[in-house]
Each structure stands twice: as structure tokens, then as C-alpha cells.
Amino acid sequence: MKQTKEKHSLANHANGPSLQEINGTVVVPKGKEFFRTLLAYSGPGALVAVGYMDPGNWSTSITGGQNFQYLLMSIILMSSLIAMLLQYMAAKLGIVTQQDLAQAIRSRTSKPLGIVLWVLTELAIMATDIAEVIGAAIALYLLFGIPLLYAVFITVFDVLLLLLLTKVGFRKIEALVVCLIFVILFVFIYQVALSNPDWAAMFKGFIPTTQTFADAPQIGGQTPLTGALGIIGATVMPHNLYLHSAVSQTRAIDHDNEEEVAEAVRFSTWDSNIQLSLAFVVNALLLIMGVAVFKSGTVKDPSFFGLYESLSDPTTLSNGVLAEVAKSGILSTLFAVALLASGQNSTITGTLTGQVIMEGFIHLKLPIWLRRLVTRLISVIPVLICVTLTSRKGTIEEHTALNNLMNNSQVFLAFALPFSMIPLLMMTNSSFEMGHRFKNNWIVKFFGWASVLSLTYLNLIGLPKQIEDFFGDQATANDITHAHMIAYIIIFIVLALLCWTTVDLYKGNKRLALKQKEIRES
């Protein structure tokens, strides 16, 4: 009777393998040629790469191109290289330890800290979900004329898509995500190719200069520094590290065979780097759009509505070919299609990540449809409030409010980022966790710590400006003072929690190492 009750319960205790339903279910060939083996390992990298090209990346890259030409291209390159390094460590952690990042952190920290970290990560996922809701709702409005209020409600029903996908198998989910990535890639390659950009200036932009992080000039309320922080904050997201450490375990390998483990790490790294290279190309194309597709300074509204209108207005486009194509409406339609594809991709990966952190941190298992329904409904609330409060004030106010809400949601990503990056680096640096063969070498350690500290620092110093944005464009001096006070309080809390997390992880690692030593000696 007890077993029957548990079987039909919506919420169950979970303390097994990460994503147990799909863990070790994908068979990989043994002793086959490189490309056939790589194909078998390909997929998890695509799920991760989606987070690097979601709707939150779009306006930051395009606006950065509009305001500063190719100056911030180096930021996209550096963010992508750091992402490759972090995702390599995340995949390696999952394959070698057979634990995802949430499980590994929870097993080494106290229960109170585990709950705090779980809440922070949930907030980060919901912040990402807000951008997905806004992106998908706007795409439905632009493509089909569905009023925004109704379009927001429709996004809740993407849970039906997830229910269908859970029935067809994990490899088909990976294949769908890859197809949607190529849809996005095709759209922007087509639009940029028509714009005939200045390739020499673009390649020059890959070299960072002192101007890249300068706090002047200010164009459209943005400086190069705030533009760089916006791109970094929208690119490197904490939930991707949890996701990759889990989905890297979907391949069936013999973990007692060190050579098979090494092969899994190697091909997972290839898969991740290839997919993240595609994400880099998409983000670079977005910035190039801002520079080359539109005439300089013509995009007054950087929201998705404004970009859509600009792509259908021949007077805003950079050359005659683009202007002629724009008259047909194909440029704006393709933009909306890519936006919808991006939102749906992020829906799939966000749901999987939510399951990983809930099971890993608090050992609670919910059906995937219920998990998605709850988080989506919570994320929809601020969007509904925003649409309801601004819809009567006029179209411009509504569009601006939605764009500000999406950009301000990135504050939580900056807040949560260090709490996944530092534990990941500490554990993959440890020979106890990874063994002598798989622990990070000194090169990875150096660039790992440099990346973690740099990203953490840049995200934290960007908090005052991000909090300012909550007060809108008409913020008073008093509002700015309050914004800075709030930001400094948050920074203090972040640093205090980071110290707590680091000390707890260090003690937990020592405790587990001592316990393992006692077992070997007994």
C-alpha cells in the first residue's frame, strides 16, 4: 500500500542519480571512428548553448552594436571563451563524480546553506524565465497579432510541448533543440549577409582596448562599461553549469573503466565547444546587426517591438538591398520566428535545470509538467502586472516597461553567478573529487580563477547601475542614492554568503575525504 501511494504521489523524495529517468540511457559506440563517436556524444552541448543565445542576450548585443559599433565584439569573444572553460569543468564534474553540481554542493554543505543556495538558484532560473515569457509573448503578438495579455497566458501552455517531448525520448529533445538553434543561426546569417558589414572593423573589434571598459562616452544612457556588463550578465548564466553537469551523465559508460571516462570527458568537451562556438556566432551576428543592418542611431526603441518595426522600415536600414527586402516584411517576420524559437529552446532547458536543482539541493522530485507549470506561473506574475499597469498608458510605455523588466531580471543572475562558479572550480581542482588524472591542471586553474574572479567582480560592480534601472529613466538623485545603498547591501550579503559557502565546502570536502580514508583503512 505504501509503494502504491508513493507511486501516485506528485511530490516524492529523490536521492538517486541526476535526472534519473534519462541518466545513462544514451548508448555510445565503442572503438568507432572519431566523427561517429562525436555524433553519439553530441546533444548536451546544444542544451547548454541555448542559454547563451536566449532572449536576454538579444537587446544587449544589438544595442551595444548600435551605440559603440564593433567595440564590444571582444566582450562577446571573452564571454564565450570563459563559457567554454566553465562548461568543460561542469561536464567533467558530472561524468567523473557521477553527481551534478547541485548534488555535489549539497553533500558538502550544511542543510541551512543548502536551502539558501537552492532559493538563490531558483530565483536565477525564474529571472531567466521572465525573459523567456516576454520574448515568447512578444513573438506571438508580432507573428499572429495576439494581444500581449493573452499571449502571456498562452506561454503557460508550453508545458504541453514538454509533456509531448518527454514521451519521444531524450535524443529527440536534443535534436529539436539543435534544429531550433540552426533556425536562429540561419535568420541572422541571412540578415547580416544582406547588410554587407565592414569585416575589417569587425575583426579589429575582437581585440580589447582600454575603451572597452571605459565609463565614457555615454550614448543612449549606456557607456561601454555598462554595455559590456550587460553582455556578460546576459551571457554567462549560473543555471547552465547545473544543467551541463547533469545532462553530461546521459551517456552510458563504464565508470570503473578510466579510459571510457576519459573518452566521455573528451567528446563531451568537443560537443560543448562546438555548440558554444555556434552560440558565439549568433551573439556576434546580433551585435553586427546593431552596427550594419541598421543605420547608426536609428533604433530609438531597443525593445523587441522596436527592433521588429525597424526591420520593416526601409528608412532605418543601412543599404538599398536591405531596404527592398524589408518592404516584403520578411526581415521582421524572420526576426519574430527566431525570437519564438529562442524562447521555446530556453523553456526546454530551463525545465530540466529546475528539476536538477530541486532534486539536488532539497531531494524533492516533482513531475516535469508540474515543475514547469509552477515556475512558469510564478514568472508570469510580474509580466502580467507590468502589462496590466502600462497597457492603459500607451504603447510606448508598455513596450518600455517590458524591456526594462527583462533587463532588470538579469540582476538575479549577477547575484547567483558566484555561488555556482566558485564551488565548481573548488571541486574540479580537488584530487579527492576528481582523482589525479581528471583534476584541473595548472593552466585550467589559472584561467578558471581569473575568469571566476573577473566575472564576479564585473557583475558586482555592475549592480548599482542595474538597481538604478529599476527606478526608470526619470530617476531622481534621491532614487539613485537609494539604488546605490540597496546595491551595496546586496554586495555585502553576496560576499558574506560566498565566504560561508567557501568555508562550508572546504570543511565538507575534508570531512568526506577523512571518511573515505577511514573506510579504506577499516
According to the model, what pLDDT value does residue 8 have? 47
pLDDT of residue 28: 87
- The predicted pLDDT at position 472 comes to 66
3-state SS record for 190-229: HHHHHHCCCHHHHHHCCCCCHHHHCCCCCECCECHHHHHH
Q: What pLDDT digit, counting tens, does each position of 193-237 carry?
A: 888 888 899 999 999 888 888 877 877 667 888 788 778 767 777
- The C-alpha cell at 73 is 565584439
Tens-place pLDDT, residues 407-461? 667 667 767 888 899 999 999 998 888 888 899 999 999 999 998 888 888 778 7
Cell numbers 538623485 correspond to what residue? 477
DSSP H or E segment with residue 251: strand 251-252
- Mean pLDDT for 54-73 is 81
How much is the pTM?
0.86
Give the number of other Cβ atoms within 10 Å of residue 183's Cβ: 16
Contacts of 55 (CB under 8 A, 6+ apart): 131, 132, 134, 135, 136, 304, 339, 342, 343, 346, 406
Span 246-304, pLDDT tens digits: 999 999 898 889 999 999 999 999 999 999 999 899 889 888 888 888 776 666 666 78
Residue 497, pLDDT score: 92
Domains of the chain, each with CATH number or no CATH: 14-411 (1.10.4160.10)
The percent of residues above 70 in pLDDT, for the chain, comes to: 89
Distance CA 116, CA 121 (A): 9
The residue with greater pLDDT, 221 or 91, is 91
Region 161-176 average pLDDT = 70
| pLDDT per residue as tens digits for the range 104-132 | 998 888 889 989 999 888 888 888 888 77
| pLDDT reported for residue 473 | 66
Instruction: Name the pLDDT band for 165 (thresholds 50, 70, 90).
Output: low
User: Is 294 in contact with 318 (CB distance < 8 Å)?
Assistant: yes
Averaged confidence pLDDT in the chain: 82
Residue 250 CB neighbour total at 10 angstroms:
23
| Average pLDDT of the segment spanning 127-144 | 85
What local confidence, expressed as pLDDT, does residue 355 receive?
84
Per-residue pLDDT at 164 = 67
